[in-house]
Amino acid sequence: MTQACFDCSTTATQRVAHALEGAVRPAAQHVFTQVYADAARAAAQHCDAEAQAGQSLGVLHGVCVTLKDNIDLAGETTMAGSVVCLGEAPALKDAPVVQRLRKAGAVLLGKTNMSEFAFSGVGINPHHGTPANPADTQHARIPGGSSSGAAVSVALGLAEVGIGTDTGGSIRIPAALCGVVGYKSTQARIPSTGVMELSRSLDTVGSITRSVQACLAVDAVLSQRPLPTDAVPVRGLRLALPQTLMMDDLDAPVARAFERTLRRYSEAGAQLVEIPFKALGDIAALSMPGGFSPIEGFAAHHARLERGAQQIDPRVVARMMLGKGISAQDYLGLHNRRQAWIAAAQETLHGFDAMLCPTVPMVAPLIEPLLLDDEAFFKVNRLLLRNPSAINYMDGCSWSLPCHAAGEMPVGLMVSGLAGQDAHLARVALALENLMNS
């Protein structure tokens, strides 16, 4: 039957009706690139009929799910938040993650807006508009990206699950800024076949929900390898606090929420250990001359750039063009340096249950100034990507958990581990979330 972490107090048909009604309200403007109203209603009715007959379609039976616009659906051209893809061949079949969602009983509501080609942590899209962050109803603030619509669909209560991708924080950044939970697994856990790539070395598929348990239920479907759902005791946990890079330039609200959260963990018996982790400061230099996302992004999209660069967000074009002309020697050098860095990071974090830091160093800034000023946009983009992208570089697993108090702008706590530590990190994330919610 459906996992207890999802709402079973109403029927799937009622939840879909609520979502479709909400999708046309002003607060949801720019959240969806497509809405599958008829198909969602039909799927919900089927779920309810099966439930009445005592049958379960799977752990996501009747759960409302949105899909990021870069994920293949059979018969549709995958647009990835762009317009330059118009006229390209439609997908021949659903992406494996979509097949698994359907098999588990999920109801697919629609495709969600995103930063074009997933190449920004801000969430601004010049073609489809930018969904406003639901945390502030008085001012239009960024949702975070690139999985902007995915996070907003969950934060608004339109969907219980938003499926997104994370190349440098694209699940965790919008989760943090919108006050919901985001999970990026070790890259190899979930297949990315049928997902338009940005950087094949870093791209990861994952989910945004309202709880760790809900993300774990979705991960079990997407990965076909369930993780533990029991929390470890907080007392005795060894939690690393990196002092290089990740604590720089924190907004006052972020610093206050983070310090308050650490105090609760310490009072509950967790051992908080400040570590230099100086290697975090080396990533930028090791990524020269272009970095994985520009190099691999240019390789993936060069035909679109040549055909219609004027139809692509100039800020995306500028970043992708950094990958043009990079030699095979330089590209392989990137991989070699990354593997050596990962080995050093594994030594640094050996013996810790998790590493903690703010997901991003700021609360959501206003949209308008970033639309008007390239310098301001790129500064905010760099800051948003800084902390979470280090975990992608490490091929780690990572959660963003809300850690702000009621009435405050959302702040995310990033809880991270090394590659393959997803099972233990899940139990740690459950424990830390439980303590924050107690």
Annotated catalytic residues are: 68, 146, 170
First to last CA, the chain: 27
CA distance 3 to 112: 24
DSSP H helical ranges for 268-349: 283-286, 292-308, 314-320, 328-349
What are the strands of the beta sheet with 64-68, ordered from one edge?
32-35, 107-112, 64-68, 161-165, 205-209, 181-184, 397-402, 412-417, 354-358, 238-242, 271-275
Q: What angle is formed at CA 246 by the lines to CA 343 and CA 262, rounded to 5 degrees?
A: 105
d(CA 329, CA 320): 19
Q: Which residues contact 71 (CB under 8 A, 6 or more apart)?
A: 78, 95, 97, 98, 111, 163, 165, 194, 195, 196, 205
In the numeric block, which tokens belong to residue 401?
């958990």
Measured between alpha carbons, how far is 71 from 118 in angstroms, rounded to an integer?
11
Number of residues that make up the chain: 438
Please give the Cα distance from 317 to 339 (Å, whole number). Answer: 28
Q: Is the dihedral angle over the CA atoms 98, 102, 104, 110 positive or is it negative?
A: positive
3-state helix, strand, coil in the chain (%, to 5): 45, 15, 45
